[in-house]
Amino acid sequence: MQGVLFDLDGILTDTAKFHFAAWSRLAQEKLGVTLPAEFESRLKGVSRVDSLVRIMDYAQVTDQYTPEQIEQMANEKNGYYVQAIEKLTQADILPGIPALLAELAARKIPCVIASASKNAPLILKNLGLTSEFAAIVDPAKVAHGKPAPDIFSAAAQAIGASPAECVGVEDAVAGITAINAAGAVAVGVGDPQELAAAEIIVPTTADLTYAVLEQAYQARAK
Ligand code: BG6
Ligand code: MG
């Protein structure tokens, strides 16, 4: 294993609740609808604009807004979201992550962020994790979001590795699909049924260790 390609939201820290709260506020204020609780997981791994498209679809208002108004609403949601993530600290890092990053650093295995979030640099800074990563792929610079392979291909490239030499870590179905499509080895965190396409699935981030990632990598090589 030559590198580890990390999703951020739901892997390094739990931001789904902040995304959901920000979208709920926007949906209520601008579209007059209350989002059902299942939207929290339905928006995992989905880009900002695609999330809004899904919400507008739910509110049945898809044809009523101009591209400018849609962009304005996406910006407004991001304002609410940034207010929440500004308060993140080291204490918000998910269990197991500091130990995993230390194990990978000790083995000189580079780590890269392959997140759909344009807020990844701010989140990493507030978690105090920026220096643990060799690179952060800018999602604005890849042609297609997850489930397309682009962001994981770019992440491997950022460390001079081929995707097949890397393990990707994800909590979203779209992310597992993207890792597989890139030709990297997928490790899923969450529900084994939902993430069945991953090489190995662990219940929580506390179960992520170097040994698990290497096991997935070796299993795929067979
Ligand atoms: C993903 C999240 O990581 O990033 C999605 O799982 C989110 O819920 C997407 O919509 C884009 O994030 P941002 O911070 O650029 O709006
Ligand atoms: Mg995620």
Taking the complete model, does pTM exceed 0.90, yes or no? yes
Residue 180 and residue 174 in contact, taking contact as beta carbons nearer than 8 Å: no
Residue ranges of domains in the chain, CATH in brackets: 3-14+90-221 (3.40.50.1000), 16-85 (1.10.150.240)
Q: Tokens 């991001």 label which residue?
A: 78
What does residue 208 show for φ and ψ, rounded to 5 degrees?
A: -80, 120
Dist. CA 62 → ligand 2 center (Å): 26
Q: If DSSP codes are grouped into helix, strand and coil, which group holds residue 69?
A: helix
45 lines ligand 1 (CB under 6 A): yes
Residue 189 and residue 208 in contact, taking contact as beta carbons nearer than 8 Å: yes
Nearest ligand atom owner, CA of 190 = 2
Q: What is the pLDDT along the chain (222 residues), one digit of tens a residue?
A: 999 999 999 999 999 999 999 999 999 999 999 999 999 988 999 999 999 999 999 999 989 999 999 999 999 999 999 999 999 999 999 999 999 999 999 999 999 999 999 999 999 999 999 999 999 999 999 999 999 999 999 999 999 999 999 999 999 999 999 999 999 999 999 999 999 999 999 999 999 999 999 999 999 877
ipTM: 0.98
Dist. CA 47 → ligand 1 center (Å): 5
Residue 158 and residue 174 in contact, taking contact as beta carbons nearer than 8 Å: no
145 lines ligand 1 (CB under 6 A): no
Dist. CA 204 → ligand 1 center (Å): 20
22 lines ligand 1 (CB under 6 A): no
146 lines ligand 1 (CB under 6 A): no
